[in-house]
Amino acid sequence: MACLTRTRVFTASLGNKSVFASYLRRLSTDPTGREAYLEAAEGYPGVTCLVLNKPKTYNAISRLMLKNIRESLEDVRHDPSTRLLILRSATPKMFCAGADLAERRTMSQQEVDMFLSNGRETLGILEDLACPTIAAIDGPALGGGLEIALACDFRIAGAETKNIGLPETALGIIPGFGGTQRAARLLGATKAKELVFTARKMTAKDAKEYGVIDHLAEAGQTAYDRSLILAAEIVKNAPLALRAAKMSISRASELSLESGLDFERACYQPLLSSKDRLEGLAAFKEGRAPQYKGE
């Protein structure tokens, strides 16, 4: 019963018109003054971008940026029209240089504790989004910047991008937004320990070989360009099926095989009565591309 309850989460917000209207208002709001904002990916229906917008500090994470990221993620979480989210920089050749250390020096211990708690919760929201997510890394992704990327489903980097890593131990701390845990789950304990213990800063090519990066952009192509190619492959498929598949796969490492198979079935079951399933069958029979609506 618990599994069946969880599978209803990805359809729960479809009828919430007030939340959806709020999302649309923010999506069309002038981003001036915001350090992170939502923007539709032009020409790619269903793809929304969460844009980092603090170029003077290479998108270093301030309290305002973290607040704006969280607000944006809350909007996406309740928005059925977003089928995929891409995190990218508003400025070319940037991603996120980590925490804003100049601001950090002005914080009290209580403020630091609150910042870390908020960061942990915010990246938890990002990781738990029902829709697929891609980090388009077109510049340095250090510390908290890489931790944001690790909370996404996919990480794509520009071929010439440098400075990807978790350098916190060189500053006397450790990753504080979940980086040790997500790196260990992605890379395995030994590789995660080496990455964190050495405070190594990798090129995009090295990061791909290490397993941190999934795809590299080609020459003359940005990470965002390459992200849109992957996004187009994904969003053509049924939204509810994508959400159910993400939910099932994301739980796999937590469950025994038998429990995982039961959870997969619980995720599958609600799709049988969806309009999208019927549309998929009809489109296959008629030899045409399906027109999915997320219903």
Q: Is the domain of 226 the same as that of 267?
A: no
Tell whether 57 and 91 lie within a shared domain: yes
How confident is the model at residue 284, as a pLDDT?
87
- pLDDT number for residue 288: 83
d(CA 212, CA 183): 8
pLDDT of residue 257: 95
On whether both 125 and 244 belong to a single domain, the answer is no
Q: Read off the amino acid at residue 149.
A: A
> Which strands, in side-by-side order, build the sheet including 141-142?
141-142, 164-165, 201-202
Residue 166 to residue 186: CA distance in whole angstroms: 14
Instruction: Say what angle helices 63-77 and 17-27 make with each other, to 10 degrees.
Output: 130
Enclosing domain of residue 278: 239-286
Torsion of CA 116, 118, 46, 10, to 10 degrees: 110
Q: Report d(CA 86, CA 67) in Å as an integer.
A: 18
Q: How far apart are CA 292 and CA 129, in angstroms?
A: 20
Query: Sign of torsion, CA 183 185 190 193?
Result: positive
Cα–Cα distance, 77 to 71 (Å, whole number)? 10
Report the distance separating Cα 130 and Cα 12, nearest Å. Answer: 11
Q: Which residues are catalytic?
A: 99, 144, 147, 168
Is residue 27 situated within a structural domain?
Answer: no
Give the pLDDT confidence score for residue 41 in this predicted structure.
95
How many Cα neighbours within 13 Å face the side chain of 57? 15
Q: What is the pLDDT of residue 30?
A: 56
Q: List the chain pLDDT tens, one digit each, 295 residues.
A: 334 333 333 334 434 444 444 444 444 445 668 999 999 999 999 999 999 999 999 999 999 999 999 999 999 999 989 999 999 999 999 999 999 989 989 999 999 999 999 999 999 999 999 999 999 999 999 999 999 999 999 999 999 999 999 999 999 999 999 999 999 999 999 999 999 999 999 999 999 999 999 999 998 999 999 999 999 999 999 999 999 999 999 999 889 999 999 999 999 899 998 888 888 888 888 888 888 887 7
Q: 3-class DSSP state for residue 215?
A: strand
Contact 210, 198 (CB under 8 A): no
Phi, psi of 259 (to 5 degrees): -65, -35
| Nearest CA among 294, 123, 150 for reference residue 212 | 150
Orientation of helix 189-198 relative to helix 179-187, angle to 10°: 130
Token reading at 294: 């997320």
User: Residue 143 is which amino acid?
Assistant: G
What are the tokens at 190?
């030994």
* Predicted local distance difference test score (pLDDT) of residue 9: 38
Predicted pLDDT of residue 27: 47
Residues 209 and 282 in one domain: no
User: What's the pLDDT at 186?
Assistant: 95
CATH classification of the domain holding 273: 1.10.12
222 Rama sector, left if φ>0, alpha if ψ -120 to 50, beta otherwise: beta
Same domain, 77 and 44: yes
Let me know whether 261 and 161 are in one domain.
no
**188 lies in a domain?**
yes
Task: Assign residue 114 the CATH number of its domain.
Answer: 3.90.226.10
How many structural domains does the chain have?
A: 2
User: CA 74 from chain center: how many Å?
Assistant: 13
